Structure 1
Amino acid sequence: MTYKLISSTLCATLGLTLSSAALATQYPLTIDNCGLKNTYQHAPERVVTIGQHETELMLALGLKDKVVGTSVWFGHLPQAYAKEEATLKRLSDNSPSFEAVVGQMPELVAAQYTYHVGPQGEVATRGQFEDLGVHTWISPSDCVGKSVTDSSNSDGARSVPYSVDLIYQEVTEMAKIFNVEPRGKELNQQLAQRIEKAQLAANSKALRAQNAKVVFWFSSSRLKGDPWVAGNSGAPAWIASALGLKNVVDTNQEWPAVSWETIASDNPDYIVLAKMDRRLYPADDIEKKIEFLKNDPVTKQMKAIKNNHIIVVPAMSLNPSLGNVEAVEEIGQQIGQFK
């Protein structure tokens, strides 16, 4: 009996070892990221993140010890990462300088947005980093099926609607770069399960049958001016679709400026507001957003405001990120409480 037990244990252990070996990254590894092929000789040991999503992704993959600097923060990470967040080195809450990033001697700079590390990079171009032997990574969600050539405040347009599949892709590729593929697979499975559970909680089929409408307000350059609201091809549109809601703003621009008169004419059933610590614009303040909506002669006539169907979520959850799953959960939960 003892022999059989030992044999079974050895076989199980051997099976896990062989499985892990099969998933181990083979270096050198070449990956095409947003049109640039990078070859990794080994898993990067020093990483600077430019974008809150990239920071959260590193933590979610168990790679916190490799993060030597972070930047571009809208607010706090999910509670699960509160202790780890407190020990992260912040180079800047907004865009860091090129010198500050290079000063951390990174092997990899991981950026959430092309406008930070791209052809017109606010921090630097990819070429500037590559000339120093530093690899760069841009979230596929900010380049696949997306144009960022326009100069508006809309954050670019999408020729292909955003899907959480782009986040799954990024998780898979980053896990491969850092030789933690089992963690990547587990993370993607967890995300998919959370989405399915949130859809059930919100009764998405019922919302779709009701043709329930929603608008997502991120911010505005002027509190009483045209708001930056989500178009029909970005992350909020995917969130809306996952929950059986219809986004009222019909454009492939990610965050276009649309008049309140136009939004009110569609009379949305729900309004989702982005909450953030950032204070670059007057409408970054969530309390000011709510006060405006309840008192403006146009907005206060909308069904969403009359019924107090105001939903507040973290700003990052409305940008392509792991947080999209959190948005589906929170919006679904709050809608369930309204019924």
Structure 2
Amino acid sequence: MADATDYPLSLTNCGVDITFTAPPESTVTVGQSATEILYSLGLADRVKGTSVWFTPVLPQFADVNAGIERIADNDPSFEAVVNKRPDLVTVQYEWHVGPTGIVASRDQFHELGINTYVMPADCDTKDNTTGGDGTRVAAFSTDSIYKGITELAEIYDVQDAGEALVADLNTREERAIDQASHLDLPEDLSAAFWFSSTDLGVSPFVAGQLGAPGYMMDKLGIRNVVESDEEWPTVGWETVAKADPDVLVIATMDRRRFPADDVKAKREFLHSDPVTREMSAVKNDRIVEMDAHAMSATMRTIYGLESLAEALSAMSFK
């Protein structure tokens, strides 16, 4: 049995000092990661509104999520969040709520007496001042996911639930890594992760070395053909094709901000474009579909690790 939270609780979160005098009663989430962690901690009754969705909610939370207002599929307005009268806003990405957040800055919420908490996975080992999706200054680790779960559990005084969730995710992570270690994979196995593109045919957003996909590849002994430290750099298809990854992982999502958000459009492009259709991964049908949310630094990254290990076990590299 974990110790109860001793309020007032003070934390430094993504460089900002925050204090809680009691467990939050009303929360709005800006980001699917924060939403699903709160649901996993048994805190759905505290969530009064959600936003920024890439994929359907985890199946075990479908019923409870259906009863909670979705303020926006993508970026909510500052007014829409404030109108729910939350005492805490939990955030997945600093580019939504941060120094130059497109929803608001943290100060704007704090001036209204509304606390904010940004998931550490988006700021630990990461510089978000570089624009876009930010740049990793060191490799992403699932420790930042576990840190976020543990701190939210402490904020809401549900430490036992936090410890149980971390233990479950850690077990799944270790099991997937062990499974991959027993596969007969080529020593020089390479891959690329394609999240989306602003339009089909233009340079795609592919995973850099140090983000969540980089973590998956490192744990499974795969070389990332994209050498950038940016979270999601744009790299021309000619460059990707020249590197010729053995495996191509493509994101599946409900979001339709860009044409290439649609996984069917991704597949059609890969098989029809004169450059991409000559890639080994395409010609040999070594294309893996992965939940887009798993490609971000979230607890679903561990599910992505599992699904990639499973997909590799069914592939032939001869």
Note if contact 2:183-2:313 (Cα within 8 Å) is conserved in structure 1: no
2:296 matches 1:311: no
1:183 equivalent in alignment to 2:161:
yes
Equivalent residues in 2 for 1:293-304 (5 A)?
293-304=270-281
SS of the equivalent of 1:210 reads coil
Q: Secondary structure at the match of 2:314?
A: helix
Q: How many residues align structurally? A: 316
Q: In the TM superposition, what are the counterparts of 1:27-38 in structure 2 within 5 Å?
A: 27-38=7-18
> Partner residue of 2:136?
158
Provide the residue aligned with 1:197 in structure 2.
175
Alpha-carbon distance, 1:101 to partner: 0.6
Please point out which of 31, 39, 58 is paired with 2:38. 58
Runs of 4+ in 1 over 6 A off after TM superposition: none
The structure that has the greater radius of gyration is: 1
Structure number having the greater helix percentage: 1
Residue aligned with 1:338, SS: coil
AA paired with 1:140?
P
CA distance in 2, matches of 1:270, 1:277: 23
| Alignment partners' CA distance in 1, 2:50 and 2:80 | 10
Report whether the alignment pairs 1:223 with 2:203.
no
**Structure 1 residues 254 and 204: alpha-carbon distance in aligned structure 2, compared to 1, 3 A threshold:** farther
Unaligned runs of 5+ in 1: 1-18
Alignment equivalent of 1:126, drawn from 68, 90, 106: 106
Query: Equivalent of 2:236, from 246, 255, 259?
Result: 259
Cα deviation, residue 32, structure 1 = 0.6
> Is 1:235 aligned to 2:212, yes or no?
yes
- Contact 1:50–1:72 under 8 Å retained in 2: yes
Match of 2:66 among 86, 108, 113: 86
Aligned partners of 1:326 and 1:288: how far apart in 2? 24
Contact 1:204 1:243 in 2 (8 A): no
Larger mean Cα displacement after TM superposition, 85-94 or 45-54: 85-94
CA contact (8 A) 2:198 2:259 kept: yes
* Residue 78 (structure 1) shift: 2.1
- TM (normalized to structure 2)? 0.96
Distance 1:130 1:36 in 2: 11
Residue number in structure 2 paired with 1:139? 119
Alignment equivalent of 2:256, drawn from 279, 288, 294: 279
Aligned to 1:6: none
TM-score, normalised with respect to structure 1 = 0.90
Q: Structure 2 CA distance, aligned partners of 1:251 and 1:245?
A: 16
The Cα offsets for residues 233-290 of structure 1, whole Å up to 9 and x where unpaired, read as: 1111001112221111001001000011111111111110011111111111110100
Shift of 1:121: 1.2
2:268 is aligned to 291
